[in-house]
Structure 1
Amino acid sequence: MEHIQSTKNARVKEWKKLFSKKGRDKSDLYIIEGFHLVEEALKNQAVKEIMIEEDRELPDDLIIENIRINTITSEVSKTISETETTQGIFAVCHKKQLEIDISSHPRLLLLDRVQDPGNIGTMIRTAEAAGMDAVILGEGSGDLYNSKVIRSAQGSHFHIHVESGNLHEWIDKLKAANLPVFGTALENGVSYEAVDPVKSFALIVGNEGSGISQEILEKTDKNLYIPIYGKSESLNVAIAAGILLYYLRK
């Protein structure tokens, strides 16, 4: 166990590099914060090392064999925290992805240029709760390992396959496996209630401002919309995804 007191310590500088996508991509590591996320990461054997404030204690039921533990001062804790009120515990994690077999009747959520990290994390969490098998972040979408994405997902990324990928290639692969691919569009679509729930499917949702690109919409089997009964012009993309995911699954 090492006690780190200075914010200028070399290890602190290495941890701070994980705040950037460049640093995360270069190291294949990312940083998480809070007791719940650290516990989930430990359960899924993703943790490289733990950092905890000197006046905090690790829960007795955590399995931390062969994991480096660093105690840190509150000053160091504030330096590596991205929340207003830190719980004083952090972990450096390895990027690990669960595998998915699309021949085994999967359900997938595809994101086309969704950029808000809170929306991305919420959709990962919702997809996992709805029993989906994978979330695919298309080009132009936010970074999966952004700290706000991780916090919003609340550990769900440890339980569901999530990756960044080319949506065109994924759609071709899904259609070759005879999976229905649903898009979302206010124009030239049908109400989601006009389709029947299915055992396996892929749902695509799009950018917060411009929706799904026309090139993607032209490759879907059917495009769906959710009726708006009030005066709002549209629904938040994460809310819309939740409604559709729960409706479509059989």
Structure 2
Amino acid sequence: MNARVGSVKTITSTANPIIKAARALHQRKARNESGLFLAEGHKLVLDALAVDWLPEMILMLEPGDDGDPGAQLAARVRAAGGDVIFTNGAVMEKLARRDNPQTVIGVFPQRLASLATFTHGTVIALEAPRDPGNIGTIIRTADGAGAAGVILIGNSADPFGIEAVRATMGSVFHVPIARTDLDGFLKFSARFPGPAIGTHLEGAVDIRTIGPEEPQILVMGTEQAGMTEELARHCSQLVRIPMDGAADSLNLAVATGVALYELRRAYL
């Protein structure tokens, strides 16, 4: 239990240093330097609190009486040691960088998992994904399908960027996420107790014929070029998702979802 009780302040100026620091978290540089990220919405803050992922602070519109859900949330955050900043709609729009923002924005510490924690289940490995929306959608899908976690290989978009976090719909607080370079992933894959199954346009095996068997790694290539040859060579098996139409490929998040549910069909 956190012995510290969070403070309460009211700030209505976008020039305030606290507001400026929170706004800066839209930039990857600021997130990297601070180790913090933004999560918008009452639900996401509650999701985080449910798994003891405590915010450093929340910024929110001032609630009504004590029975207001916003007041109850503020009390929970303070009791957990987080600060509460009450503000106005204009500041919230600046913080969210969009009209009609959520009424609550949380500032959270980032958490990354160690590769050593992935020893079971189906692990998703993404090679250099560049679209934060895809990353967030895949994290959400991993949560829905019961995957063990997501590994980002190489120069990927930031899973703690606001667009990615929005797309997770709270699953960022439930799915372990790790980052590594290609060499680190190949070393991890070599000692992992199950196969690395890569989806590839040239895959000789229909993914529907793969018998579900965990542990396993589902390896997905880049959005534009697919899987690099070096990574493909190190997969235990290359599979394809059958296509019937004019499109020759699927969006990365869609393809990952199709493949993940196919590989985990015996466990759902």
Q: TM-score, normalised by structure 1?
A: 0.93
Where do 1:101-116 residues align within 5 Å? 101=116, 104-116=119-131
Q: Which residue of 1 aligns with 2:25?
A: 18
- State whether structure 2 residue 201 is matched by structure 1 residue 186: yes
1:73 corresponds to 2:80: no
Partner residue, 1:141:
156
For the pair 1:132 / 2:139, whether they are aligned, the reply is: no
Mean CA deviation greater in 150-159 or 54-63: 54-63
Q: Deviations over 1:68-98 (max 9, x none)?
A: 1110111111110134421221111011245
Check conservation: 1:53, 1:73, Cα contact below 8 A: yes
Quote how far apart the aligned CAs of 1:55 are: 5.2
**C-alpha separation in 1, matches of 2:71 and 2:167:** 23
State how far apart, in whole Å, the 1-side matches of 2:86 and 2:232 are: 51
* Secondary structure of the corresponding residue to residue 19 of structure 1: coil
Seen in structure 2, the aligned counterparts of structure 1 residues 107 and 101 have a Cα distance that, compared at 3 Å, is farther
C-alpha RMSD of the superposition: 1.9
- 2:72 aligns to what? 60
Among residues 34, 38, 43, which one is paired with 1:36 in the alignment? 43
Q: Identity of counterpart residues, as a percentage?
A: 29
Sort the Cα spacing of 1:156 and 1:220 in 2 relative to 1 into closer, same or farther, 3 A.
Answer: same
Aligned to 2:221: 206
Moved over 3 A (4+): 97-104
Aligned partner of residue 76 in structure 2, secondary structure: coil
Aligned-residue offset at 1:23: 0.3
Equivalent position SS for 1:60:
helix
Give the conservation status (yes or no) of the 8 Å contact 1:47–1:67: yes
Letter in 1 for 2:178: E
What's the counterpart of residue 4 of structure 2?
Answer: none
Q: Structure 1 CA distance, aligned partners of 2:257 and 2:129?
A: 15
User: How many positions carry a matched residue from both structures?
Assistant: 250
Give the helix-richer structure, 1 or 2: 2
Counterpart residue identity of residue 165, structure 1 = T
Contact 2:41 / 2:104 at 8 angstroms: preserved in 1? yes
- Equivalent residue, structure 2, for 1:163: 178
Structure 2 unaligned spans of 5+: 1-7
Q: What secondary structure, in the 3-state scheme, does the structure 1 residue paired with 2:21 have? A: helix
Partners of 1:35 and 1:134 in 2: how far apart? 24
* 1:47 partner SS: coil
Q: CA deviation at 1:158?
A: 1.1
How far off its partner does 1:188 sit? 4.2
Contact 2:123 2:149 in 1 (8 A): yes
User: Do 1:100 and 1:134's aligned partners in 2 also have CA atoms closer than 8 Å?
Assistant: no
- What is the identity, as a one-letter code, of the residue corresponding to 2:72? D
Summarize deviations over 1:187-206 as a string: whole Å, max 9, x none. Answer: 14321123211121001112
Q: Is the 8 A contact 1:100 1:161 kept in 2?
A: no
Secondary structure of the equivalent of 1:7?
A: coil
2:119–2:192 contact (8 Å) kept in structure 1: no
User: 1 CA distance for matches of 2:182 and 2:141?
Assistant: 20
Match of 2:5 in 1: none
Q: C-alpha displacement at 1:37, in angstroms?
A: 1.1
Task: Return the alpha-carbon distance in structure 2 between the equivalents of residues 207 and 152 of structure 1.
Answer: 19
Question: Pick from 214, 220, 223: which aligns with 2:235?
Answer: 220
Cα distance in 2 between the residues matched to 1:30 and 1:12 = 13
TM-score, reference length from structure 2: 0.87
